[in-house]
Amino acid sequence: MPQDEFVVTPWEVSGRVDYDKLIERFGTERVDEKLLKRMEKYGPLHPMLKRGIFYSHRDMHWILDEYEKGNKFFLYTGRGPSGDVHLGHLLPWILTKYFQDIFGVHLYFQITDDEKFLFKEDLTLRETERLSYENMYDIMAVGLNPELTHFIVDTKCIRMMYPIALEVAKRITFSTVKATFGFDESFNIGMIFYTSMQSVPCFLPSVLAGVNIPCLIPCGIDQDPHFRLTRDIASKLGFFKPALLHNKLLPALTGEEKMSSSSPYSAIYMRDEDPIVKKKIMNAFTGGRVSVEEQRRFGGNPDICSVFAYYTYMFEYDDRKLSEIREGCKSGSLLCGECKLNLYKKVKSFMDEHRKRRESAKGIVEDLILRD
């Protein structure tokens, strides 16, 4: 693959992702000043919006138009329970919580246990069920409002979902799936069918309510291909097209393009113990110089630094303080060791809070699963 090429699908991110090119390739719109100004009316802008981490969208203006007409949207996002949750997974969930709080809207959170079973050779349905619960605890731990949160666990909610999935599946051919996801004939027939299941939550709340409700999906940009298909057929089924708001993926601590479970030091998992978290951060790839002396003299480069990215994405939402870190780095007054240790303290306190909220989620998750 040439240097400037890269692949982004729900199951593969490879090459160096050019997020600007992705907007062209997927045909989405940029989150611009005009949209941000408009959103500011509803509450203080979330730093991930202001900082361009949620940088691309489809139909956000329409969602706000409808909202202003009194036609509230619902939120939809999801998680494939294939293993432990890491910090990067939390980005859309945190923004989803922000929207839930600001707009007071319902959230339908899909747990795609069928997907992960079908796509991971060694995964059993017994294991995906266990992981589903483990992951739902992490999801609730971001502080979602249980009064407004409904889990759609595919294998548990299939009776409600299947008729809608059939309506979707009837309108998508193998050719389309092949072109959209890069599948070939060696893919199993469950994988091929699966995208219909990811469409269902876009429409299910409308079916349950008996009236069309706009849908807003905050998600990683890698999930967009599913919803392009959904949008193509929504009106054929008599529903609104879902709107989307896409985030860039959290950079890997190791400087690689993507966090991955095959490279455990690339990501911080919510189940990591403090010493592991510390070790991962202290070993992170930075924009620092080869020696303390050089760093003091020439300064570092925050723009390529994974530690600075962590501050930007999640751990320093005070703009003034973030700017101090940036300037300290560039001037050489802030050394990597100190900067990492500061980050570790922030991450540790975040993790402590998360663990506490995760424990209290255990008693309530079962009741949040959507029932027939």
* Piece of the chain touching its own copies by CB under 8 A; list 57-65, 145-153, 173-181, 246-254: 173-181
For its own copies, the binding residue among 20, 32, 182, 188 (CB under 8 A) is 188
Q: How many residues bind its own copies (CB under 8 A)?
A: 34
Residues 6+ apart with CB under 8 A from 155: 113, 114, 125, 128, 129
For its own copies, the binding residue among 36, 45, 148, 158 (CB under 8 A) is 158
When asked if residue 167 is in the footprint of its own copies (CB under 8 A), the reply is yes
**163: closest CA among 192, 133, 204?**
204
For its own copies, the binding residue among 19, 26, 133, 187 (CB under 8 A) is 187
Give me the least distance between CB of 196 and its own copies, in Å please.
6
Residues 6+ apart with CB under 8 A from 247: 48, 53, 54, 55, 91, 92, 95, 218, 219, 220, 221
For its own copies, the binding residue among 41, 69, 159, 371 (CB under 8 A) is 159
Nearest-angstrom CA–CA distance, 169 and 233:
10
* Piece of the chain touching its own copies by CB under 8 A; list 5-13, 170-178, 233-241, 262-270: 170-178
When asked if residue 208 is in the footprint of its own copies (CB under 8 A), the reply is no
Residues 114-153 close enough to bind its own copies by CB under 8 A: 114, 117-118, 125
When asked if residue 316 is in the footprint of its own copies (CB under 8 A), the reply is no
Nearest-angstrom CA–CA distance, 136 and 43:
27
Give me the least distance between CB of 176 and its own copies, in Å please.
8
What's at 161, amino acid-wise?
M
Given a contact cutoff of 8 angstroms between Cβ atoms, the answer to whether 246 and 224 are in contact is yes
Site string for its own copies, 71-110 (x = CB under 8 A): ----------------------------------------
For its own copies, the binding residue among 1, 189, 211, 290 (CB under 8 A) is 189
When asked if residue 155 is in the footprint of its own copies (CB under 8 A), the reply is yes
Report the side by side order of strands in the sheet with 74-79: 29-30, 54-58, 243-247, 215-220, 74-79, 107-111, 149-153
Take residue 157 and report the two structure tokens written for it. 């909610």
When asked if residue 360 is in the footprint of its own copies (CB under 8 A), the reply is no
When asked if residue 171 is in the footprint of its own copies (CB under 8 A), the reply is yes
When asked if residue 185 is in the footprint of its own copies (CB under 8 A), the reply is yes
Give me the least distance between CB of 163 and its own copies, in Å please.
5
Residue 367: Cβ within 10 Å count: 9
Nearest-angstrom CA–CA distance, 284 and 254:
5
Number of residues assigned to the chain: 372
For its own copies, the binding residue among 175, 262, 290, 367 (CB under 8 A) is 175
Residues 6+ apart with CB under 8 A from 242: 76, 202, 215, 216, 217, 227, 230, 231, 234
Residues 6+ apart with CB under 8 A from 20: none
CA angle (132, 56, 85) in 5-degree steps: 20
Nearer to its own copies, 118 or 339 (CB): 118
When asked if residue 190 is in the footprint of its own copies (CB under 8 A), the reply is yes
Binding site for its own copies (CB under 8 A): 114, 117-118, 125, 155-156, 158-159, 162-163, 165-167, 169-175, 177-178, 183-190, 192-193, 195-196
